Amino acid sequence: MRNLSLILISMALLFSASTQAAESTKKSKSKSKNKAPAQTAAASYAQRSDAMAWAERMAQENQLDPQWVKAQVAQAKLIPSIPKLILPPAQVSQKNWAAYRARFIEPKRIQAGVQFWQRHQALLLQAEQTYGVPQWLIVGVIGVETFYGQHTGNFRVLDALSTLTFDFPMEHPRAKERQAFFSKELAQFLAIAAKEKINPTKLKGSYAGAMGLPQFMPSSWVNFAVDFDGDKHIDLFNNPADVIGSVANYFKAFQWQTGMPTHYPVTFNRDQLDMDALMAPDILPTFSVNSFQSKGAVIEGDALLHSGPLALIELLNGNEPPSYVAGTENFYAITRYNWSSYYAMAVIELGQAVAREIPSKP
């Protein structure tokens, strides 16, 4: 994203389930935050002085035509459901890796991934050779994000980002920070539209403004999207080359290390276990192999030869015992796409499940 975390999205879904229109998406089984509900007399920003003043400033800061920017913002509409979706839920549901995993590592998504891989095998290989990012990781991300393009969102991105810029809910605990974030995203979005000569009213995405098959936020589009086929345009909606190349470039930018595993199995020596110390850094790789073991973590085989830092990754399973793995710097790199260890494990397991189904990988 580039992006908001899956956990935040899942929590927001629980809060808004009673008011949201039904649609299957990458984030839920039956209710969707990516489907724009029917609006009656949605408020336009054309008459909002704050929106027009923002447009004037944005145009000057980005060397864009002020009249063009104002005309685009004037076409934006307030979506009343979005401020509700962005708020933290009143009650947080218990995390459950087994349930979360089942939503993504399932036959239909795996088969769609196989078809995507086979259809774009040459592009995936080219991206791997160019950026050093494995094909299974690219396939896993696109599958988790949008079911290979089946669920890219149904909100007008202009409306979503304008709503979160001009009508961000002040009761949010980080309202000032988050509103500033979305203001910058709206500016980036309009800059993209101007550069690519795209009508900004035509692009649809998530309730938070994430776009295309990889669900890039506008800032991620600006910083990491690439014209992978050399046609002088970047299209993350309809051009598989740009989608594949951009996802690979994103991970290269976040220090993906070619050939390094993402994680290793781990168990515990209960007599030696210092769980507080192991959990203190959260998912940030911090411990050498020796330090990891000295705190009661038990690893074997290739993990003992790992030269970089490790982190103890905890995945809660509701009322059942948690699952644990030893995460590497590559596991951490995946969480830079979406700041969730549950998301990272889903991407890894989906991508590798698809890879096992490919008859002959180059």
**DSSP secondary structure, 288-316, as one string:** -HHHHHHTTEE--GGGGG--S-BEEEEEE
297-298/267-268 β-pairing = antiparallel
Residue 42 within any structural domain of the chain:
no
Residue 12 within any structural domain of the chain:
no
Instruction: Name the residue with tokens 């934006």.
Output: 76
Instruction: Name the residue with tokens 């994203």.
Output: 1
What pLDDT is recorded for position 282? 95
Residue 186 within any structural domain of the chain:
no
Residue 282 within any structural domain of the chain:
yes
Contact 214, 10 (CB under 8 A): no
Tens of pLDDT along the chain (362 residues) come to 444 443 333 333 333 333 333 333 333 333 344 544 444 457 999 999 999 999 999 999 999 999 999 999 999 999 999 999 999 887 778 899 999 999 999 999 999 999 999 999 999 999 999 999 999 999 999 999 999 999 999 999 999 999 999 999 999 999 999 999 999 999 999 999 999 999 999 999 999 999 999 999 999 999 999 999 999 999 999 999 999 999 999 999 999 999 999 999 999 999 999 999 999 999 999 999 999 999 999 999 999 999 999 999 999 999 999 999 999 999 999 999 999 999 999 999 999 999 999 986 54
Catalytic residue among 23, 56, 145, 196: 145
What pLDDT is recorded for position 93? 83
38: amino acid identity, one letter: A
Contact 14, 28 (CB under 8 A): no
What pLDDT is recorded for position 90? 79
What pLDDT is recorded for position 201? 97
| Spatial distance between the Cα atoms of 274 and 297, rounded to a whole number of angstroms | 9
Asked if 23 is an active-site residue, the reply is no
What pLDDT is recorded for position 39? 42
Cα-flanking dihedrals φ and ψ of residue 275, to 5°? -65, -35
What pLDDT is recorded for position 359? 82
Residue 268 within any structural domain of the chain:
yes
The three-class DSSP label of residue 219 is: helix
Quote the number of domains for the chain.
1
The sign of the torsion formed by the CA atoms of 252, 253, 255, 256 equals negative
**DSSP secondary structure, 30-69, as one string:** SB-SSSPPP-SSPPBSTT-HHHHHHHHHHHHHTT--HHHH
Residue 154 within any structural domain of the chain:
no
The three-class DSSP label of residue 322 is: strand
Largest Cα–Cα distance of the chain, in whole Å?
70
Burial class (CB in 10 A: 0-12, 13-18, 19+), 14: middle
Alpha helices in the chain (DSSP H): 6-16, 49-61, 66-74, 81-86, 97-104, 107-119, 121-131, 135-146, 157-166, 175-196, 218-224, 240-253, 275-279, 289-294, 329-335, 341-357
**pLDDT digit string (tens) for 76-129?**
999 999 999 999 887 778 899 999 999 999 999 999 999 999 999 999 999 999
Cα-flanking dihedrals φ and ψ of residue 88, to 5°? -60, 145
Residue 310 within any structural domain of the chain:
yes
Residue 309 within any structural domain of the chain:
yes
What residues make up the domain containing 318?
263-327
